[in-house]
Structure 1
């Protein structure tokens, strides 16, 4: 069991040995997940209201409504729900969502208790953060260039591969949160135990597949799917190879991935805003205002759209990297 102070010694040992840990019943579903789903449902209603024939969506629950939106439009709407920004080409009105229920998850005390057990009490909310909307596979556009990785299965990768070199020594912890029950049918995550000890591996970039970790570079045959119940979380080392399965259910699979690191260490996304989520040493530095958090991202959007030439590359990987031909 997880107590209010965080993880047990056995859980910490398992995380260190395996590179991941599923912790059950961390999040109060009614207090945090239900309001979050309601917030995304409101966002979805705003999108539908701008379409021709919005009455066709009336009365549908969130998953069915989002599924129909994907089917009717044949496009990904992920950025409209995301609480981050694209790496480049940011527009002044770039769609995004920085709602209070999202912020409540970033500052959730029970999640921070788990994080504190692994990286200490001075915790920074790393801005590498996303919501993932995975519709049923039969709705994924047939053209693999459209929404690859956002709509279908997610390619194998390590989270250390999505930050720039300055964060190589940063102790980044990933917290993956399903907003629905997940299993092999609707696209749960898969991890490869113990392979985090190999360090950062060479990733490749392909025009169709996007960024991926070649399976020859790690023990892909030891991949382990991780079914999880709503309210549980998965914590992963930044070096742990992982992927997700396709969604072969009839409903959308929704999840969030958050990241945290010790205060003062580079985040790997210097242009994006993070914040102090917990500080035992100086509690006054903690951000508790969801409006201020939202404004920090909107200010970043305005700056990136106005001065795209000043935004550095966010990736270290090249299409012509050795061993990727």
Structure 2
């Protein structure tokens, strides 16, 4: 039966494989689409196997590093990103998997693929804009979050004009895309504290004007997640000056007061964690004090009825904080008007 045996095709070297991937991607514009897509899918699957192993043997690290190097040298990263809309589901899934591994590869101490993206920053803008494309939005979101792990790339996205698109993406009607966009938005605002602090200091008014719309969104997921995220990044030590500025503004206090009236427990509790910072501020401006005094009775009633859980440690802390805030509000005196 030996005459039925077909010798297996010798495994491609990293450089051969990358050239095959590049050629098949370029062929998407020049050949029969079905055949070209089949070749792309086959080649990207081969890359995934070389990067991750075949289930029996671990990947060869030298080959993995060589693939990363060749991909940068051949400009294949740009082809990966710009051809995402043309790929099928399996190819996109494999590519996202490979992207995660490739960005982690170092050559001579440098993240070669990250360096490549730093020199082709338009790729980040492309990934952000792709949230508009429902078919590839989640793939682009996954790839973008891998990029955001690196400070230089996160800094670019924060300071780019495309960053403002996230305020729109977080209110899209598609639940999966909204959830993914919020996850990316959260990473942008929490992964690199110093970078975020610098960005917020430089763009305070513009950022919080946009953010206010998320907090008052009719979309429950958007409202809840953006409210939770606000407390997460405002209370980070590097953002102390941003928080101090935020809690001096009456309009934001009133937003939290409105959210305390929400019928949903999670919204009420998340709003409380920000509202309490306004109340605890030892340097409350006159306008803040006047609003708290004028609404004292209603606020104390809202806080007294704040829904508490079943008595766990977190609930005990919440109960204690609630009582302290009520006492603070009750003790506030209306500021005296200056004599004219």
TM-score tier (shorter): under 0.3
Bigger RCO (CA 8 Å, 6+ sep): 1
Larger helix fraction of residues: 2
TM-score w.r.t. the length of structure 2 is 0.22
User: If the length of structure 1 is used for normalisation, what is the TM-score?
Assistant: 0.23
Greater Cα radius of gyration, structure 1 or 2: 2
